[in-house]
Structure 1
Amino acid sequence: MFEKLKDLKTYEAGKPIELVVREFGIEPKDIIKLASNENPYGPPPKAIEKVKNLASEMHRYPDDSFFELKEGLSSKFNISASNIIIGAGSDQILEFAVHAISPKKVLMAGITFAMYEIYSKQVGAQILKTESVTHNLEEFYEIYKEQKPEIIFLCVPNNPLGECVDAKEVFDFIEKIDENTLVVVDGAYQEFAAHKDKNKEIKPEDILKYKNVLYTGTFSKAYGLGGMRVGYGIANEYIIENLHKLRPPFNITTLSLAAAIEALKDEEFVKNSIIKNFEEMEKYVSFAKENNLKYIDSYTNFIVLYIKNSTQIAENLLKKGIIVRNMASYGFEALRITIGTPEQNDKLLNTLKGMIS
């Protein structure tokens, strides 16, 4: 019955706090979750207040035009509302794109966001990956010339590794791609990259001059709304009109919509979260250097540390109520760790030090 899905792997989400409570009997307040790249400072206060005030309206459907949210994004990015589509997380926009095209071949980096492959295999596409695990755009182009994929996924910065190519490299690459191939630029972590290095910043308005490029963004990371599931796609009107044909009605909730509208207004909260993120990341960089551990220079809100026996260490951390992401499923021994609050980071690093020394 499900023959075409037999080789399709299920996406592995970060372990929930509830699982650790059940398995190890640890109190929820004593658990540190640093596995899913959530904002450790929570949602913006204005978003929390708005959701509280609207809770009694949860029986009503949201404004399906998403007028106010689109207007906010239009103002932020200097684009038209007609260039925007709203999704239940940016991954729903990625799904729309794949199903709209039903490609025969899809190209992506050797290690990148797992949903690209999952959505592509759902429509029977052949998966093309670079030998380089990170984004080597020269290698991308060589495969493109030979294989002519209908979709190319660029994750800028890349999840789950954290590296990021320069914006100029991305646009130089796009210039060489035929308009019949859709290039998807996944900007889920762009707010972090743009803060750390302006050379990495991809402005959505620059995407619009291309007929074959789709940019995706999310409120799940820097804006602290992972649990509300709100994302967006930005492209020329022709792409957006066609993606809308696949969008179900009311695809985000009334409360999610309200939270996103308010979060978008609170840029100071987002800015401060990002600043603290990179200040705290320095603790991990110092830890890696002090303990002779390789790490990936990260432009996101997480960092990858290469650690031997990462599977056992991740399990030992879990038993102490600290949830991180083991990278063994990607074929190498490492931990991906979300940058938490100062207290969370200190506890994790002190615990980890005792396990590797």
Structure 2
Amino acid sequence: MKFNKVLESIKTYEAGKPIELVVREFGISPEEVVKLASNENPIGTSPAVAEVIRKNADKAHLYPDDSMFELKEVLSRKFSVEDENIIIGAGSDQVLEFISRALLNENESVLMSAVTFAMYEIYARQMGAKIVRTPSYEHKADEFLDAYNEYKPKIVYICTPNNPTGDATGKEEVLRIIEAIDNDTLVVVDGAYMEYAAAKDTKYAITPNDLLGYENVIYLGTFSKAYGLGGMRVGYGIAQRDLIKELYKMRPPFNITTLSLAAAIEAAKDNTFVKESIALHQEQIKRYETFARENGFTYIDSYTNFITYLFPDSMNSTDISDMLLKRGVIIRNLASYGMNAVRITIGTERQNDIFFKHFAEVIA
């Protein structure tokens, strides 16, 4: 069987290893496994959301409201935008897919930083587009604009805060990039971790309304991180209505589930849970920063719910990740990104206690 030749250049996205795999491979009980690899919310989901899911369980046989009117209404109030400015996806990943399918072909290119979310490249390559990267993992305006002027890409991806590194780009720097790009190039501002950045330093806070005046910019957000709905897969894009109207042509019907829709509506209302999640993160991440300083390696200042440890040549990220895995501690090795580094989701106090115990033994 012959497949589309563009598949030859695509590497499969590697998701964080599930707890079930570690249990099967190493014979460790599920209670002893600590998963700090996928940036999930360590305290789970809001009790109010869990209750809504239970109440709607008997509707699982029904398709959801395909207009998603109630969810859009909540997001409209939250971000001071109109319903027509919003598109809902099965995670913000699906909105990225809509964007690639709507704009790209083998004659186009996309621009992104040296190390960033892998799905930008994967979706672009599915459409046969070329990949252009800046020299740095940080989103430096000069580097982006130099590459933009040379290659004239169809899409520019700005991931802030950036995954998998954790650094963020200030709003002024982001707007500087946007304002230098013409309207035939779409700028995607991916704010999957924006709630954490906004809580840490307001100069990194970007809202959809900050960008709605630009006809060639879309803001992406998700319920998977601060809202604790990673397993429900709900994300959104916010842009001018003409852009959203075109992306709707890519959207299949009923693209999120009845339970996902109910959960997202309730989650969007629960600001208290989000604040509690961020407060836990801000408290516990200090332990990771102190540990790095005390053990002779560096970290990237994080504006997300994870931290990236950068190792010297005397340490190997793959060996460390493999040894931790055998002890039931799942983290994300960044060797596939060309970095001798690991990404660690900030867990609960108990999860972090277990991580530091095993990590100290491994690096010793």
1:299-318 alignment runs, 5 A limit: 299-307=303-311, 308-318=315-325
Partner of 1:99 in structure 2? 101
Report the secondary structure of 2:231's partner residue. Answer: helix
Partner of 2:62 in structure 1? 60
Query: CA–CA distance in 1 between the matches of 2:225 and 2:234?
Result: 10
Asked whether the 8 Å contact 2:111–2:153 carries over to 1, the reply is yes
Deviation at 1:45, TM superposition (A): 0.6
Deviation larger for 239-248 or 329-338 = 329-338
Asked whether the 8 Å contact 2:113–2:138 carries over to 1, the reply is yes
Deviation at 1:13, TM superposition (A): 0.3
Asked whether the 8 Å contact 2:141–2:176 carries over to 1, the reply is no
Q: Deviations over 1:120-175 (max 9, x none)?
A: 00111010001112212210100101110010000010000000010111012101
Deviation at 1:29, TM superposition (A): 1.4
Asked whether the 8 Å contact 2:53–2:263 carries over to 1, the reply is yes
Partner of 2:20 in structure 1? 18
Q: What is the one-letter code of the residue matched to 1:74?
A: S
Report the secondary structure of 1:304's partner residue. Answer: strand
2:138 counterpart of 1:134? yes
Residue from 112, 118, 141 that aligns with 2:116: 112
Residue from 164, 167, 172 that aligns with 1:163: 167
Structure 1's unaligned 5+ residue stretches are none
Report the secondary structure of 1:226's partner residue. Answer: coil
Q: What is the one-letter code of the residue matched to 2:191?
A: G
Partner of 2:282 in structure 1? 278
Partner of 2:30 in structure 1? 28
TM-score by length of 1: 0.99
Q: Deviations over 1:61-84 (max 9, x none)?
A: 000000110000000001111100
Query: CA–CA distance in 1 between the matches of 2:135 and 2:177?
Result: 18
Partner of 2:84 in structure 1? 82
Q: Deviations over 1:84-111 (max 9, x none)?
A: 0000000100110111011511000000
Q: What is the one-letter code of the residue matched to 2:117?
A: F
Partner of 1:234 in structure 2? 238
Query: CA–CA distance in 2 between the matches of 1:184 and 1:125?
Result: 16
Partner of 1:201 in structure 2? 205
Deviation at 1:228, TM superposition (A): 0.2
Report the secondary structure of 2:304's partner residue. Answer: coil
Runs of 4+ with >6 A deviation: none
Structure 2's unaligned 5+ residue stretches are none
Query: CA–CA distance in 1 between the matches of 2:361 and 2:21?
Result: 24
Deviation at 1:25, TM superposition (A): 1.1
Q: Give the paired residue count.
A: 357
Q: What is the one-letter code of the residue matched to 2:170?
A: D
1:208-223 alignment runs, 5 A limit: 208-223=212-227
Q: Deviations over 1:33-71 (max 9, x none)?
A: 000000000011111000111111100000000011000
Residue from 318, 324, 328 that aligns with 1:321: 328
Report the secondary structure of 1:227's partner residue. Answer: coil
Query: CA–CA distance in 2 between the matches of 1:337 and 1:281?
Result: 10
Query: CA–CA distance in 2 between the matches of 1:306 and 1:172?
Result: 29
Partner of 1:224 in structure 2? 228
Q: What is the one-letter code of the residue matched to 1:285?
A: E
Query: CA–CA distance in 1 between the matches of 2:137 and 2:219?
Result: 22
Partner of 2:357 in structure 1? 350
Q: What is the one-letter code of the residue matched to 2:345?
A: T
Deviation at 1:28, TM superposition (A): 1.0
Query: CA–CA distance in 2 between the matches of 1:354 and 1:27?
Result: 20
Partner of 1:330 in structure 2? 337
